[in-house]
A and B are shown apart, each in its own frame.
Chain A
Amino acid sequence: MKDIKEATFNSLARKADWMLTGDVAKAVGVSRVTIVQYLRELMGERLVERKRLGKASMWRVNQADRPGSRTMLEGEDNEIMQQIYAEREAYLKLRSVLLADAKYAGRFVAILKGKAVDVDSDERELVGRVYEKYGYVAFYVEKVQGEKRVLEVPSPERVSR
Chain B
Amino acid sequence: MIGYDCTETEPPAPVADVKTSNPMTHVAERGRAKIDSGADISVIPQAWTSRLRLLPSGLFEVASFDGRTIETPTYYVNISMNGFRFELVKVISSRRTNALLGRDILNRLKVTLDGKSLKAEISDP
Q: Tell me which of B36, B56, B64, B102 contacts A81 (CB under 8 A).
A: B56
Which of B10, B63, B70 is within 8 Å of A152, CB to CB?
B63
- B-side contacts of A139, CB under 8 Å: 57
Say whether, besides A49-B68, A52-B69, A151-B40, A140 and B57 are in contact (CB < 8 Å): yes
Which residues of B are found within 8 Å of A142, using beta-carbon distances? 58
Residue of B nearest to A110 (CB): B57
A14 in the interface, Cβ–Cβ < 8 Å? no
- Contact of B55 with A46 in the complex, beta carbons under 8 Å: no
List the count of A-B residue pairs having beta carbons below 8 Å apart: 107
User: Which bucket holds chain A's interface residue count?
Assistant: 35 or more
> Is B25 in the interface zone, CB < 8 Å from A?
yes
A2 contacts chain B at the CB level, 8 A cutoff? no
| Chain A residue at minimum C-beta to C-beta distance from B40 | A151
Chain B: interface size category: 35 or more
Question: Are the C-beta atoms of A124 and B10 separated by less than 8 Å?
Answer: no
| Segment at the B interface, from A5-13, A93-101, A130-138 | A130-138
B80-102 contact mask (Cβ, 8 Å, vs A): 1 or 0: 00000001101010010000101
B43, CB-defined interface residue at 8 Å: yes
Give the residues in chain A near B55, CB-CB below 8 Å.
Answer: 80, 136-138
Cα-based distance from A137 to B62 in the complex (angstroms):
24
**A155 closest partner in B (C-beta):** B38
**Interface membership of A44, Cβ < 8 A:** yes
B113, CB-defined interface residue at 8 Å:
no
Interface flag for B115 (CB, 8 Å): no
Give the complex CA separation of A44 and B72 in angstroms.
Answer: 5
> Which residue of chain A has its CB nearest to the CB of B50?
A77
Given known A-B contacts A50-B68, A51-B69, A151 and B63 have beta carbons under 8 A apart: yes
Q: Are B69 and A49 in contact (CB under 8 A)?
A: yes
Q: Bound state CA distance, A138 and B93, in angstroms?
A: 16
Across the interface, do A153 and B68 meet the contact criterion of CB distance under 8 Å? no
Decide if B67 touches A151 in the complex (CB within 8 Å).
Answer: no
B15: chain A residues within 8 A (beta carbon): none
Within 8 A of B (CB), among A106-161: 123-124, 127-128, 131, 135-142, 148-156, 158, 160
A43 located at the interface, meaning its Cβ lies under 8 Å from any Cβ of chain B in the complex = yes
Which residues of B come within 8 Å of A, CB atoms?
Answer: 10, 22-25, 36, 38-41, 43, 55-65, 67-74, 76, 87-88, 90, 92, 95, 100, 102
What 9 A-B pairs come out closest when comparing CB atoms?
A136-B24, A154-B65, A151-B40, A138-B55, A124-B88, A153-B39, A156-B65, A44-B71, A43-B71
Between A and B, 9 residue pairs with Cβ closer than 8 Å are: A40-B71, A43-B69, A81-B73, A139-B57, A148-B61, A153-B41, A153-B43, A155-B38, A155-B39
